[in-house]
Structure 1
Amino acid sequence: MFEGVPAALHPPVDLALAKAVESIPHGDVLSGGSVFEMKFDGFRAACFVGLRDVWLYSRQGKDLSRYFPDVLAAAGKQIPPGCVIDGELVVWSGDRLDFDALQLRLVTAKAALPALVHESPASLIAFDALAVAGNDIRGLPFRDRRTLLEELAREWVPPLNLSPVTKDRAVAETWLQEMPATGVEGILVKGEAQTYEPRRIWLKVKSRNVVDVVVAAVIGPATQPRGVVVGLPLHGRLRIVGRSGPLSARAGRDLARYLRPPQGKHPWPEKISERLLDRFTKECGKIRLTLVEPLVAEVSADVAWSGQAFRHSVRLVRVRPDLQPDEVSLPADFERE
C-alpha cells in the first residue's frame, strides 16, 4: 500500500499549521521574506499519489478518499506518481464556496454519493508540495517547493487548482477586504525560506465582521461569566448560533453588570449538547447554561457562517444596552448563504 510514496510520508502525515494573528504583518516577519496566500474555507487535506492508487487524508488523519471520487480521479490523471500535495478540498456554488455542500460528502449514503458528486463537484486547491517524483521535499525552502508545485500544476484543469500567492502586502490587504464575499476566510503568511514542519510555522489572518447578536446565556456564573452564548433570529425563533472564546476576568466583570435573571419563559433550555456550541468537538455530553434576560451585544466574528451557526468562536466587543433584542435581525449576508 502507498507504493511510490516516500516511506516517511505514508499517511497519515502531520501537516504544517498556522498561528492566528490580528492583522497582516508588515515587513519580513518569517524566514526569507513574506509570501501571502488566500485561506480557503474547506477541508484541509493531503493528496497522496502512488504508482497505482490515490488517497486523500484529512489533517486529523482520517481517510477521505471514498468521499471525493471526483478529486481522486482528477489527481490520478493529472499528478504524476510519487507526489504528495497539501491543499484544501472545497465545493463551489456559483462564485462562492459552499461549506455545507462540502460537509454533505461525509454524511451522504454511499448509494447517493454519485448523485451528490454530479450536483456539487468538489475541487482541490493545492498550496504546497511535500513530495515530488518519489522524493521527500519537506526540507526544501518554501520558494523551491512552490516552484515545483507550479511546474506540476502547469497543465492542471479543474477540479485541480493552484492557490494564488503574492509578495505584495497591498494585494493581500485587498484580498482580505474583498474576497470574503466568495467564502475565502482570510490570508496565510508564509516565509520563502521556511522548510515544511508539522507545527505552527505560518501565520493566518481571518476576515472578521462585527455583528449584533442576542446574548441570552453565559458559561459560568452570572457574577463572573467565562463566556457568552449568542443567538440570532432564524426561522422565527431566537436560535443559538455560537459562543465566545474565554472572557478575560475584566471582560467578565464588565459584562456581569448588565446580566439579569430571565423574566418569563426563556427561549433556550438550561442544558444543551456540546456540539451545539462547538461543531468540531468529539464530545457528546451536555453543557449547563446560565440563562439570563436577553440583551444585545456586538461580537467580532470571522466570515465562516454555516447557514445555521458561526463555525468558530466569536469575540465579545461590547454590550449594546441601547438596543432591544427584537431589533436584532439576521445579517443580509447570512440570509444569502
Structure 2
Amino acid sequence: MDDPIAPMLAKAVDAVPEPGSLAGGLSYEPKWDGFRSIVYVGDDGTVELGSRGSKPLTRYFPELVEALGGRLPRGSVVDGEIVVRVGEPGREKLDWEALSQRIHPAASRVRTLAQETPASFIAFDVLQADGESLLDTPFSERRAALEAMLVDVSAPVHLTQTTRDVETARRWLQEFEGAGLDGVVAKPLAAAYSPGKRVMLKAKHHRSADVVVLGYRIHASGTGVGSLLLGLYDAEGNLRNVGGASAFTTVRRRELIDELAPDVVRDENGHPVRGETERSRFSGSKDVSFVRLEPRRVVEVRYDQMEGDRFRHTVQFSRWRPDRDARSCTFEQLEVPARYDLGDVLS
C-alpha cells in the first residue's frame, strides 16, 4: 500500500463483443456488483484492502482481512470485488444495500455487521506473485497464475468464472442478472495490466422506463438543473422516489429551469416549495434539498437495473413523454429478471 496500484478499468459497449474484435482474442467473465478492491498481502502476512478511490477498505471488512491472510500467499497482490451474499442456498443473490451498510464510522458497528452480513471476495486478476510484478504479463498468463494460486481456495474467497466462448458470455449476461450481477466483462487475452486505463470492455443491460418527475436539484455551480428526481406509482397508488437523472450539459441545465417552471410547486407567497430526500452516511454535508414539482410531467429514461424499488445507478434522460399520463407510470412496466442462484455463479 506504500505505492497503491490504480485498478484497470472497463469501457462500456452496447453488447458482448465478438472474440475476434481484438487481436489475441478475449476472455469473458461475470461483472460483479460490489466494491472493487485490490488486496495487498505483505511479506509479513499483513493484509490491506485498497479501493478504486483513495479510501482504504481494510477497517470495514475485518472478516475478509482474516480470510484473505489465510488464503493468499505472502507477497501477492490480487484484484477483485468485495460483495455481500444473502438468501438461502438455491436462492442466493448479491445485496448492494447490505454491502453499502458495511461502510460505517463506528468500530463496534463494523464488528457487528461483519458477523451479521459477512462479505466475500471474488478474485479475477493477479498483479503480483511471490513478490514479483505481473503488470506487464499478458492476461492469459496472469489468469493461469491466479488459478494456480487459488486452486484450493475456499469461501469466503472465490475465483471468478471465465469463458472464451462468446455465446456462453451472452447467456451469462441474461441469466446472471437474476443473482444480482451487473453484466459481462471482456478482457483482451494479450493485454498487460494498465492501471487506471480503460482496457477492458463491459456489456450491461439497457432498458427504458417512463417515470414521473418529482422535483429537481440545483447544480453544484448554482446555475441550472443539476439532477431530476424521479418517481413511480406503486400498487396502492403511492408515488415513490426511485432515483435520479443527471449529466446535463451547461446549456441544457439552464433550459430545464425554464421548461420546468410551470410545474414548480409554490407557497402562498409564490416562492418555490422545497423538500428533502432522505440523508444517508454517504451524503455527508451535501445539500439533499430539491425544488418540488407537480407530478404531471413524464420522462423516458434509460437504466441498467433495479436495486429493490430504486434504480441501481443514476439513469440517463432520453426524452419527454407528453403523451403519457403520470398515473400510468407504475412499477409494473419494469422488466423483472429471472431468478438465478448466486451459488451457481460461484461454483
Q: Does 1:71 align with 2:69?
A: no
- Equivalences for residues 319-334 of structure 1 within 5 A: 319-331=320-332, 333=336
After TM superposition, give the deviation of residue 62 of structure 1 in Å: 1.6
Q: Identity over aligned residues, as a percent?
A: 36
Q: Aligned partners of 2:302, 2:67: CA distance in 1, in Å?
A: 39
Equivalent residue for 2:296, pick from 294, 297, 303:
294
Distance, in Å, in 2 between the alignment partners of 1:173 and 1:256 is: 42
In 1, the alpha carbon distance for the partners of 2:310 and 2:25 equals 37
User: Does residue 58 in structure 1 map to residue 51 in structure 2?
Assistant: yes
Q: 1:138, 1:197 within 8 Å by CA — same for their partners in 2?
A: yes
Cα 1:35–1:282 change in 2 (3 A) is: farther
- After TM superposition, the structure 1 stretch with the greater mean CA deviation from structure 2, 252-261 or 144-153, is 252-261
Q: How many residues align structurally?
A: 321
C-alpha separation between the residues in 2 aligned to 1:309 and 1:282? 21
CA distance in 2, matches of 1:206, 1:144: 27
**CA-to-aligned-CA distance 1:184-238 (integer Å, 9 cap, x gap):** 11111110000001111111111233333212345789xx978643223479753
Q: Which amino acid aligns with 1:241?
A: V
Which residue, out of 10, 33, 36, partners 1:44?
Answer: 36
- Post-superposition offset of 1:124: 0.3
Aligned counterpart, 1:174 = 171
Alignment of 1:106-117 (within 5 A): 106-107=103-104, 109-117=106-114
- 1:242 maps to what in 2? 243
What is the aligned counterpart of 2:155 among 150, 155, 158?
A: 158
1:1-337 matches, within 5 Å, as 10-50=2-42, 51-94=44-87, 95-107=92-104, 109-198=106-195, 199-217=197-215, 228-233=228-233, 237-246=238-247, 261-262=262-263, 270=274, 284-285=286-287, 289=291, 291=293, 293-305=295-307, 307=308, 309-331=310-332, 333=336
SS at match of 2:5: coil
Is this contact kept in 2: 1:13–1:61, CA < 8 A?
Answer: no
Q: Report the more deviating stretch, 87-96 or 283-292.
A: 283-292
Match of 1:5 in 2: none
- Report deviation, 1:275: 7.9
Name which of structure 1's ranges 206-215 and 279-288 shifts more when overlaid on structure 2. Answer: 279-288
Take 1:100 and 1:284, find their aligned partners in 2: how far apart are those partners? 20
Gaps of 5+ in 1: 1-8
Q: CA deviation at 1:143?
A: 0.2
CA deviation vs aligned residue, 1:157-198 (integer Å, no higher than 9, x gap): 000001111111111111111111111111111100000011
Aligned-partner residue type, residue 208 of structure 2: V
- DSSP 3-state at the match of 1:52: coil
For residue 33 of structure 1, what is the amino acid of its counterpart? Answer: G
Q: 1:207 to 1:262 in 2, by over 3 A?
A: same
How much has 1:76 moved relative to structure 2? 1.0
- 1:171 and 1:162 map into 2 onto residues whose CA distance is 18
- 1:136 is displaced (CA, Å) by 0.6
Q: Secondary structure at the match of 1:261?
A: helix
Asked if the contact 1:241/1:309 (under 8 Å) is kept, the reply is yes
Query: What CA deviation, in whole Å up to 9, does each residue of 1:124-178 have, x standing for no partner?
Result: 0001000001101111000000000011111000000011111111111111111
SS of 1:107 mapped into structure 2: coil
Q: Does the 8 Å CA contact 2:78/2:125 hold for their aligned counterparts?
A: yes
Give 1:110 shift: 1.6
CA distance in 2, matches of 1:174, 1:62: 35
Cα distance change of structure 1 residues 72 and 269 upon mapping to structure 2, 3 Å threshold: farther
CA distance in 2, matches of 1:189, 1:249: 34
Q: Is the 8 A contact 1:12 1:57 kept in 2?
A: yes
The normalised TM-score by structure 2 is 0.79
Q: State how far apart, in whole Å, the 1-side matches of 2:76 and 2:120 are.
A: 18
Distance 1:32 1:248, change over 3 A: same
SS at match of 1:294: coil
Greater shift, 81-90 or 280-289, is seen at 280-289
**Letter paired with 2:72:** I
Q: How far apart are residue 86 of structure 1 and its match?
A: 0.3
Give the C-alpha shift of residue 64 in structure 1.
1.1
Q: CA deviation at 1:269?
A: 5.1
For the residue of structure 2 that corresponds to 1:154, the secondary structure is coil
Aligned residues: CA RMSD:
3.6
Distance 1:330 1:58 in 2: 34
What is the distance in 2 between the residues matched to 1:136 and 1:318? 49
SS in 1 for 2:231: strand
